[in-house]
């Protein structure tokens, strides 16, 4: 892709309305454009990153046996009246009337809708467990949308739901999602820590938020530092090892502020290990038993002929919020250098040829390189403008492709100036560059 033909509207300076670095960068390089308060359009660069995150989230859901569906954004109020949440949800719910004067709403979450889908088809314990998920826009009329796509009104969420018959099986389902979240955030090159959390309007009594540390985060956390040293190592999808994995994390006191208890914190964590800080909630999982299945009458036949209400959990990941969270974790705002993890980078590599009117041989060379890269599924962005070298590099540093090739007048023969952002340049040939990139991409 040529930069001159791309829709990447880069601003010269930081937009003054953005208070945190992810919002600054996203506006600066034109990843998003606000359309009204807390509602954004996603432009090509931002959309590419979000779609890659979505795909990783999807793959990790599939790996634990969850099945993808797609529920609508607009829901009927009827099912929310059945569960009793229609009144409870309050002003955050965007309520709409259709032309027949029926009460509809823009879904803030889907516990009711998925329970309705489940109860219409699944009648026997033999079909359990069921793990269903979708990746869909949500709307919450947040009183104070802020920080760009971090806390907005319309956002993209992966939400999954589990259905089991016993508490023990439901706990197994919960733990499968626990593992899939560790795997997902690792692939995004994020250190997201599970912390015991409150359940709020979703309900239930078991819940973890997955939090990444960031000064600009909106969640207050209290934790034993040593939890950050834990490796989120992979585990078999089996009851015992998953329980062990969760216990390993739960051994360290780590809670969000609504679960915080000063005495407990001081008793369980020695002074040198206490950490009181802030973070960004990128995922949240809940177990709430029959909170929805009972009022909505979602039951299945048991072996002895009896019936029972299914036990449910729900599991959310803020897919659009993750774009901002990755920037908060990876953007060096002082030097204005972004380095996307290769797993979600909008481009794998930037090619920067030095071009002037009388000599476009460097651009020809860039084009030849691009053909070879394409053959190897490596996605490059080429700066085909005649701007000076430093402004070209500045621009590419903001776009954040993790690798760069620089083609100057002196680039002769097979050796190219190749650079990983934040590292020293090296002179190597294209075959070697392709090898390095392929190796990096294979690790995703
Ligand atoms: C779990 C899935 C739920 O809604 N029901 C279905 C449960 N959980 S949650 O914690 O309320 O949301 C899940 C994740 O969505 C992201 N998120 C947001 N992202 C951007 N702007 C918002 N206003 C917003 N609200 C929630 C968070 O990442 C959260 O963990």
The predicted-structure confidence for 389-438, as pLDDT tens digits, reads as follows 999 999 999 999 999 999 987 767 789 999 999 999 999 999 999 999 99
Note the pLDDT of residue 414.
84
Question: Does the pLDDT at position 179 exceed 90?
Answer: yes
Distance CA 139, CA 73 (A): 8
How much distance in Å is there from the Cα of 157 to the middle of ligand 1?
7
Q: Is the CB of 22 under 6 A from ligand 1?
A: no
Q: Is the CB of 154 under 6 A from ligand 1?
A: no
Domain with CATH 3.40.50.800 in the chain: 349-442
Residue nearest ligand 1's atom 15 by CA:
318
How much distance in Å is there from the Cα of 315 to the middle of ligand 1?
9
Q: Is the CB of 46 under 6 A from ligand 1?
A: no
Q: Is the CB of 142 under 6 A from ligand 1?
A: yes
pTM of the model: 0.97
Domain with CATH 3.30.930.10 in the chain: 3-330
pLDDT (mean) for 220-226: 95
**Going by C-beta distance under 8 Å and a sequence separation of 6 or more, which residues neighbour residue 283?**
181, 184, 185, 192, 209, 210, 315, 316, 317, 318
How much distance in Å is there from the Cα of 190 to the middle of ligand 1?
18
Q: Is the CB of 151 under 6 A from ligand 1?
A: yes
Give the atom of ligand 1 at the shortest distance from the alpha carbon of 110. 6
Residue 244 corresponds to which tokens in the numbers above? 């062990």
Residue nearest ligand 1's atom 12 by CA:
316
Distance CA 300, CA 113 (A): 18
Distance CA 41, CA 148 (A): 11
Residue 17 · residue 1 · CB < 8 Å: no
**Going by C-beta distance under 8 Å and a sequence separation of 6 or more, which residues neighbour residue 344?**
49, 52, 53, 56, 188, 326
Helix ranges (H only) for 292-429 are: 319-330, 361-375, 389-399
Q: Is the CB of 284 under 6 A from ligand 1?
A: yes
The superfamily CATH assigns to domain 3-330 is Bira Bifunctional Protein; Domain 2 (3.30.930.10)
Q: Which residue has the tokens 């059945």?
A: 82
Note the pLDDT of residue 356.
84
Question: Does the pLDDT at position 231 exceed 90?
Answer: no
Q: Is the CB of 157 under 6 A from ligand 1?
A: yes
Residue nearest ligand 1's atom 21 by CA:
151
Q: Is the CB of 158 under 6 A from ligand 1?
A: no
Note the pLDDT of residue 390.
94
Q: Which fold has domain 349-442?
A: Rossmann fold (3.40.50)
**On the CB side of 424, how many CA atoms lie within 13 Å of its CA?**
2
Looking at every residue in the chain, the average pLDDT score rounds to 95
Residue nearest ligand 1's atom 13 by CA:
316
Question: Does the pLDDT at position 25 exceed 80?
Answer: yes
Provide Rg for the chain, Cα atoms. 24
């Amino acid at each position: 892709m040529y930069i001159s033909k791309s829709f990447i509207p880069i601003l010269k300076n930081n937009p003054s309305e953005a208070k945190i670095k992810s919002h600054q960068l996203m506006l600066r390089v034109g990843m998003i454009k606000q359309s009204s308060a807390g509602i954004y359009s996603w432009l090509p660069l931002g959309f590419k990153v979000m779609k890659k995150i979505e795909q990783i989230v999807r793959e990790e859901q599939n790996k634990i046996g969850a099945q993808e569906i797609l529920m609508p954004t607009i829901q009927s109020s009827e099912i929310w009246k059945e569960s009793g949440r229609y009144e409870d949800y309050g002003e955050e719910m965007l309520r709409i009337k259709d032309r027949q004067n029926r009460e509809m709403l823009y879904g803030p979450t889907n516990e009711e809708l998925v329970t309705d889908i489940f109860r219409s088809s699944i009648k026997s314990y033999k079909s359990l467990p069921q793990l269903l998920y979708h990746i869909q826009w949500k709307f919450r009329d947040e009183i104070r949308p802020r920080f760009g796509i971090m806390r907005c009104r319309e956002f993209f969420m992966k939400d999954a739901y589990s259905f089991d018959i016993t508490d023990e099986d439901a706990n197994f389902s919960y733990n499968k999602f626990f593992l899939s979240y560790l795997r997902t955030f690792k692939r995004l090159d994020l250190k997201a820590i599970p912390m015991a959390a409150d359940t709020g309007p979703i309900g239930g009594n078991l819940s973890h938020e997955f939090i990444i540390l960031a000064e600009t985060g909106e969640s207050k956390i209290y934790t034993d530092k040593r939890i950050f040293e834990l490796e989120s190592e992979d585990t078999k999808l089996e009851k015992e090892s998953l329980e062990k994995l969760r216990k390993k994390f739960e051994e360290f006191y780590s809670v969000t502020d609504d679960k915080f208890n000063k005495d407990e914190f001081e008793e369980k964590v020695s002074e040198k290990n206490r950490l009181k800080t802030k973070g960004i909630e990128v995922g949240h999982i809940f177990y709430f038993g029959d909170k929805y299945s009972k009022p909505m009458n979602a039951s299945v036949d048991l072996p002895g002929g009896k019936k029972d209400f299914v036990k449910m959990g729900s599991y959310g990941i803020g897919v659009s919020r993750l774009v901002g969270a990755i920037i908060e974790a990876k953007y060096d705002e002082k030097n204005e250098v972004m380095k996307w993890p290769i797993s979600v980078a909008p481009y794998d590599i930037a090619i920067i040829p030095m071009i002037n009117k009388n000599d476009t041989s460097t651009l020809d060379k860039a084009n030849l390189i691009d053909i070879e890269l394409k053959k190897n599924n490596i996605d490059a962005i080429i700066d085909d403008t005649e701007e000076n070298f430093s402004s070209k590099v500045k621009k590419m540093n903001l776009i954040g492709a993790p690798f760069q090739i620089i083609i100057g007048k002196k680039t002769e023969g097979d050796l190219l100036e190749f650079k990983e952002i934040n590292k020293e340049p090296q002179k190597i040939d294209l075959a070697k560059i392709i090898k390095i990139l392929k190796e990096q991409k294979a690790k995703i």
